[in-house]
Amino acid sequence: MTDNNSNKSVLSYVVFAGVATAVLVATFVAIFIVFNNNNQKPVGIVQITANPSVTFIINDKDRVIDVKYDNLDAEILFSRTNFNGNTIEEASKIFARLSCQAGYIDTSRYSTGTQINVLIAHKNSKKASDLQEKIINKMNAYFDEFGVIAGATNKIFQDVQQQAQALNFGVNEFIVAQTILSLTDEYSIEQLRNINLQELLNLVKEIYTKIDGIAYNYYDEFLNLNKTYLDVLNNQLNEILNPLFEIIGDIELKYSLNSNYNGLKTQINESSLSQEQKDSAIIVLDSLKSSIEDLEKNIKNQMEDNKKLLREESEEVFKDNKKILDNKISSYKPSFDDDKEYFALNKQEIQQKIQEFRESIK
């Protein structure tokens, strides 16, 4: 009897321990998912513009969660760099260091100076101001350390603020909207004006996610594949739907790459046609259903094949970029080292030039 009770106690303990462990694991998983999702939520973008030019998306911890290269030189320069997870201050210092080492920023004592513009859009205006100052100080500290006649500044903000006001935009919304418009023609400035800042930031993040793994020169083609194939779909559908148009006349039908048949059917039922015309149109549409679905499937397959091709070509571009970067750093290294040596021996002269240049870009 005692043995049975003992066995039951042990079994109960094992079951309890198993349930407790499962609950604990589930809790940790849930916490991790929530924490990770929060860390990926965009609260601002930071644009660092010279040559190269880069746009960073940051979270509420001031860490980079995504990045886009705004020109080809940026893609080459940062081909070996993973910015994600770095604080935006750390990322800005990496920007400054690599730009100097590869010769994109002139490190010569004969340089007339390089201006680097820093522009921030952020949900928290106070935070934006503080971050801007920290980024500028971090970059300028690097230039000071190596005697580079360059300066980071927010001088461009005043011009952007005026442009935003002229278009009836908040300045933060305008900066993010301009970023979207630089990537895709899917939206107009009027459409973006009616979207709040968080939704604009989410949209930028969504676009960046789409072009992840795509080379800079293919951004436009990749992002507009949907529109390109929708145009092809429209043209080919018009031929298929000729028998339908004989019934519905001039009623405009809108197509998409999703559920064309159902979408067309809904549009006919909601149109101003008489019930008799609607019934006749649906009968004709039903007879064309398989042709419509086959066409849509074919168009989608073509689009996916094109996406795959662009990704494969991008991989080759990235490999070439790494070679180009190695050559740039290697070939510029003697000049970079010579500039450092000259600065070590002539600090007062170079510091004076840096100070004068910084005054000129305030």
**Overall average pLDDT of the 60-77 stretch:** 96
Q: Is 142 helix (H, G, I), strand (E, B) or coil?
A: helix
Instruction: Identify the bridge partners of residue 122 per DSSP, sorted by sequence position.
Output: 44
Query: What is the distance between the alpha carbons of residues 29 and 310, in angstroms, rounded to a whole number?
Result: 36
pTM of the model: 0.81
Residues composing the chain: 362
Query: Which tens digit of pLDDT belongs to each residue from 14-31?
Result: 445 555 555 454 444 444
- Given a cut of 90, whether residue 192 has pLDDT beyond it is yes
Query: Which tens digit of pLDDT belongs to each residue from 323-345?
Result: 999 999 999 999 999 999 999 99
- Given a cut of 60, whether residue 52 has pLDDT beyond it is yes
Identify the CA nearest to 67 among candidates 78, 77, 76, 57. Answer: 57
Query: Which tens digit of pLDDT belongs to each residue from 299-332?
Result: 999 999 999 999 999 999 999 999 999 999 999 9
The tokens describing 263, both together, are 């979408």
